Amino acid sequence: MHVIVAGCGRVGSQLAILLSYEGHDVAVIDRDPESFGRLGDAFNGLTVEGLGFDQDVLKEAGVRQADVLAAVTDKDNSNLMIAEVASKIYEVPTVIARLYNPERERTYQQLGLDYVCGTTLVAQALLDKIMLGRTHAISVRGDVEIVQFVGGSAIDGETVLSIQTAEEFRVAYIIRDNTEIIPLPETRLKKGDVIVGALKTSGHARIAHLKEEAR
């Protein structure tokens, strides 16, 4: 895959190194050229100086060929702008943004942006999302994540009980039409419901088919 990482702070540099180690083609964008020093001498990807929402900078980073873009600067507004440009103008298949302020979560949801919100293990959570699809981690502790994803056609008409997996995934609540619902095991789900639950790291692949299909 060709992956663009916008932001070369602690999280961005860790993510770029992890992706490079996995053998992916990685381009890193940051307005501060000194930040690229965090990548180390072994990093063999592309570095581009500039703002991640600047279209000329994105083109230099290979946005037209990008499979994934991760917006992980230290500012929510910048990450939102980068994600919007990448998804709406260049139609990058998978766009993920880091979210610092949980109060902005509803804005990200309304814009249909995929994101990771948390303070620990964020780089690994982003890598998991890139590799396994449209699920974002609200928080991570050990090998258990509180995750959220939009349900696809696979959940339509299914019960909460039927989509749970023993010892790996449990539904805590759903969001439907901007209303939070604590469901019963027999509650029927609808395509487009936002599912929030607890997930063991080992369960990502098992719930992949439940998610909304990537745009």
Lowest mean pLDDT among 11-15, 76-80, 102-106, 119-123: 119-123
pLDDT of res. 117: 73
pLDDT tens per residue across span 17-57: 888 888 899 999 999 999 999 998 889 899 999 999 999 99
Q: What is the pLDDT of residues 57-109, one digit of tens each?
A: 999 999 999 999 999 998 999 999 999 999 999 999 989 888 877 777 777 77
CATH superfamily of domain region 147-210: Regulator of K+ conductance, C-terminal domain (3.30.70.1450)
pLDDT, one tens digit per residue, over 94-103 is: 898 888 777 7
Amino acid residing at 214:
A
CATH homologous superfamily, domain 2-133: NAD(P)-binding Rossmann-like Domain (3.40.50.720)
End-to-end CA distance of the chain: 17
Name the residue ranges covered by the structural domains of the chain.
2-133, 147-210
Say if residues 196 and 147 touch (Cβ distance below 8 Å): yes
